[in-house]
Structure 1
Amino acid sequence: MKGFVLPEYNGRSITNIPGTVLRLFGIQNNLEPLAAPILNKLRGEYSSIIFLIIDGVGFYRYRELKEQGVIPNLAGFNEEYLTSVFPSTTTAALTSLSTGVPPAKHGMLGFKLFLKDFGVTTNMISFRPWKIQVSLVENGLDPDEFVKERRVYSYLEEGYVKSYILIRSFYRNTPLSRVIYGSYETYGIINSVDLFTTILKIHKKDKQKKFIVAYWGDTDTLAHRYGERSLEFGLELRNLDFLLGETLKKLQGENVLFLITADHGHLDTVPAQAIDLSEDKFLQEEMVLPPGGEHRVVYLAVRNPEKVVKYLKEKYGDLAEVA
């Protein structure tokens, strides 16, 4: 597909990070790890592996800020490019980072999905039918069991490695966090300072081997609201870089591996290229369900698939990939 960056699931995707962590701890598993040249650079004996996920910081934007010299601590890390997943969105990517498998296997394929058992198109963050204020969780859906794939934390537990999952306090125990992390305990964070100081406290609390996952989403929030090249986005990443530097000073001499990734990048929308499907009369008449997926990856359930695909390619083929 011209112009698209496709996931490289065979060793250069964020999906390969969980399998890599397990191998570094010496735990047997069937998950695909990062490619051998990357894996070999990481090999060693570690008391803790700290895994920081910074939401929405794409490789090219990171490179630009690195070249400007405004994120010196992030720039000091050994760098390898990785691809995201498809669709390259937070819900899909975080579930892959928790399971080590692509979205096509774990099933979190977008913000809006049709759930056959309930017969509705569902908001996968709130787990409510689209535009209807009824909780599916209160009507029999178990978020802990929605994703059937085994979480990486289960493997680690069997290998006597303690997992700590740090997320914003307001995400804890929500249906979405339970889908991503299953029944494993999460720890609430109130701000970025709390995130990094909690990482240090957990690492130093005892001698047990630890896997510390720290997720930070404010970068993504700012990129969605103001754009990835906004002052707000840049300042947020510079703030994280400063806190990272202070944390690394406290970890000097420690037997720790510190991994950092984004879950996906951003591409600022050009309004003139946006497609409003709600204004397409033919398409509205053909659809049998509300659209699913994401704004950039739309799933359509229609009466006449071949007819609709032909129509979409003719009308929107220059602006979108139709399949």
Structure 2
Amino acid sequence: MNTKESLTRFVKPDDPDLALPQILDGELGDSEGTRHLVLVLIDGLGWWNLQEYLSYAPTLRRLIKGELRDGVAQKVGEADTARSVFPSTTAAAITSLLTGLAPGAHNMLSYQVFDPEVRKRFNLISFEGYPGVVEQFQPQPTWFERLAARGETSFALGPKKFIGGGLTRAALRGGKYVASESLEARARDAARVASEGRFTYYYMAEVDHAGHGHGVGSDTWLAALEEADRAVGVLLNELPSGTELIVTADHGMLNTSAEETYDLATNHESRHIVNVSGEGRVLHLRVELQDVAIVARTVEKALAEFSPDSHVFTRAEAKGLFEAYNGVSVSRGDLLGDLVIVSGGSAQVLDSRFFKEQTFHMVGVHGGLSEIEMRVPLLKYRS
């Protein structure tokens, strides 16, 4: 499966792959499990993105093939894949991975939401502009908190700028945060603290950032992939004996273009849209109740010509979609739009009245239901 058509096809709701919220259950679910676990999350590095450019990632390639340790082939690794959540976007996926719960349970339902309780639109990475308490918006315990309740230590490793940030408070609270700026320094920190606690989470943002700005496969993206791969190599070389390692991602990424971007502001019924949130691959529209049907009809008609694989859902239908793909109902349905657009192919839908111009210039996007966005690597190794 490597053609553009097959990779942009929607994953089925009953896809048998292990879902992100389940990955840590077997490792951390009870006090008799793995003694030391290091989880490496390479943001944005989907399974098919990695497969296409595997020659740029020799360490990950050897992990996949089970060939490690000074170039000597040994079956010491295990390669598999997992499935992201819907939407396949960072805030939803990372929180799902680190709570063991689906987005409908922890309220991190998009990149950006409009919360009618506070009448504010804000993104779920920084929570900038949110007047409430992050821990109340996302009230579910994280794996870090669950381990702390059992008297076990855990660590979260990432850049200094994320200390105290919104997503950090939503998904990483309960762990000891260790800040470092370079990926290799972070790898050494991860190896150093691995034997001091039950769980160490090591985050890399560089591949995702390069993909958004320059596109998957660009020189900048390839350099970021090589940097991430080198850091994994450093970690493998320095891991304490007997440590379990998992390398995964929160989602994959596909490239879009200006020609594949539909601007809702150009639609003649856009005057009925009062707010827009979400992101280009899964967009949430707020519409006055009496205008929902007319907006749905007009947008569906426009998309039928522009991107036939894209779909417009009512809130009730979107709740069903979340439940079908994540296995859990949405506890706060009011966070969903009155209408939700899920883009197909490599298209995206935005609205220039509500999104900054730089959003329209993003090359790499994610959030949708396509195979390339949803399928992520699940590589395991024991030192």
**Fold in common (TM above 0.5):** yes
Give the TM-score of the pair, scaled to structure 2: 0.70
Separation (CA, whole Å) in 2 of partners of 1:226 and 1:273: 16
Instruction: Write the deviation string for residues 43-82 of structure 1: whole angstroms up to 9, x where unpaired.
Output: xx6431000000001111111222x3x3222122221111
**Which SS does the other structure have where 1:160 is aligned?**
coil
Q: Secondary structure at the match of 2:167?
A: helix
The aligned amino acid for 2:206 is D
Match of 2:252 among 265, 280, 286: 265
Following TM superposition, by how much is the alpha carbon of 1:263 offset from its aligned partner in structure 2, in angstroms?
0.5
For the pair 1:165 / 2:156, whether they are aligned, the reply is yes
Taking the TM superposition and a 5 Å limit, the aligned residue runs for 1:48-127 are 48-66=36-54, 68=55, 70-77=56-63, 78-127=78-127
**Counterpart of 2:24 in 1: which secondary structure?**
helix
- Is the Cα contact below 8 Å between 2:42 and 2:248 reproduced in 1? yes
Report deviation, 1:243: 2.7
Structure 1 vs Structure 2: percent identity of aligned residues? 24
Count matched residues. 287
Please say if residues 159 and 179 of structure 2, whose CA atoms lie closer than 8 Å, have aligned partners that are also in contact. Answer: yes
Counterpart for residue 292 of structure 2: 305
Q: Which residue of 2 aligns with 1:131?
A: none
Secondary structure of 2:293 counterpart? helix
Give matches, 1:39-50, under 5 Å.
46-50=34-38
CA distance 1:6–1:163, change in 2 (3 Å)? farther
Indicate how the Cα distance of structure 1 residues 11 and 273 shifts in structure 2: closer, same or farther if over 3 A, else same.
Answer: closer
1:211 maps to 2:202: no
- Aligned to 1:5, the other structure's residue is in SS state coil
Change (3 A) 1:164 1:236: same
**Secondary structure in 1 aligned to 2:18?**
coil
Which amino acid in structure 2 is aligned with residue 162 of structure 1? Answer: T
What's the CA shift for 1:281?
Answer: 3.0
1:246-274, CA deviations, whole angstroms, 9 ceiling, x for partnerless residues? Answer: 3212237x111100101111110032121
Q: Secondary structure at the match of 2:311?
A: coil
**2:37·2:194 contact (CA, 8 Å) conserved in 1?**
no
User: 1:228 offset after TM fit, Å?
Assistant: 1.0
CA distance in 2 between counterparts of 1:97 and 1:203 reads 19
Name 2:273's counterpart in structure 1: 287
TM-score (norm 1): 0.82
RMSD value, Cα? 2.2
Separation in structure 1 between the aligned mates of residue 114 and residue 267 of structure 2, nearest angstrom: 21
SS at match of 1:275: strand
The answer to whether structure 1 residue 234 and structure 2 residue 222 are counterparts is yes
CA distance in 2, matches of 1:167, 1:145: 24
Query: In structure 2, how many angstroms separate the alpha carbons of the residues matched to 1:249 and 1:218?
Result: 21
Aligned-partner Cα distance in 1 for 2:167–2:14 = 26
Aligned amino acid, residue 60 of structure 2: L
Which amino acid in 1 is paired with 2:258? P
Name the CA distance, whole Å, in 2 between partners of 1:157 and 1:183.
7
- 1:322 is matched with which residue? 312
Q: Distance in 1 between matches of 2:293 and 2:86?
A: 24
Deviation at 1:123, TM superposition (A): 3.1
Unaligned runs of 5+ in 1: 27-44, 129-134
The answer to whether the 8 Å contact 2:46/2:249 transfers is yes
Aligned twin of 1:186: 177
Note closer, same or farther for the CA distance 1:278–1:126 as it changes in structure 2 (3 Å cut).
Answer: farther
Verify: 1:244 aligned to 2:228, yes or no.
Answer: no
Q: Equivalent residue for 1:22?
A: 28
Distance in 2 (CA, whole Å) between partners of 1:79 and 1:24 is 24
Q: Is the 8 A contact 2:184 2:230 kept in 1?
A: no
Contact 1:9–1:16 (CA under 8 A) maintained in structure 2: no
| Bigger relative contact order (CA 8 A; separation at least 6) | 2
Is the CA contact 2:194–2:239 (under 8 Å) kept in the aligned structure 1?
Answer: no
CA distance in structure 1 between the partners assigned to 2:186 and 2:15 by the alignment:
30
Residue type matched to 2:168 in 1? Answer: S
Contact 2:144–2:173, Cα closer than 8 Å, also in 1: no
Q: Please give the alpha-carbon distance, in whole angstroms, between the structure 2 residues aligned to 1:100 and 1:286.
A: 38
Q: Measured at CA, do residues 197 and 7 of structure 1 come closer, stay the same or move farther in structure 2, by a change above 3 Å?
A: farther
Distance 1:274 1:157 in 2: 45
Q: Residue 96 of structure 1 contacts residue 102 of structure 1 at CA under 8 Å; is this kept in 2? A: yes
| Partner Cα separation in structure 2 for residue 184 and residue 146 of structure 1 | 19
Query: Gaps spanning 5+ residues in structure 2: where?
Result: 1-7, 64-77, 314-383
**CA deviation after TM superposition for structure 1 residue 225, in Å:** 0.7
Question: Are residues 299 and 6 of structure 1, via their aligned partners in 2, closer, same or farther at CA, if it must alter by over 3 Å?
Answer: farther
Indicate which of 14, 18, 28 corresponds to 1:12: 18
How far the C-alpha of 1:11 sits from its partner, in A, is: 5.5
Shift of 1:229: 0.7
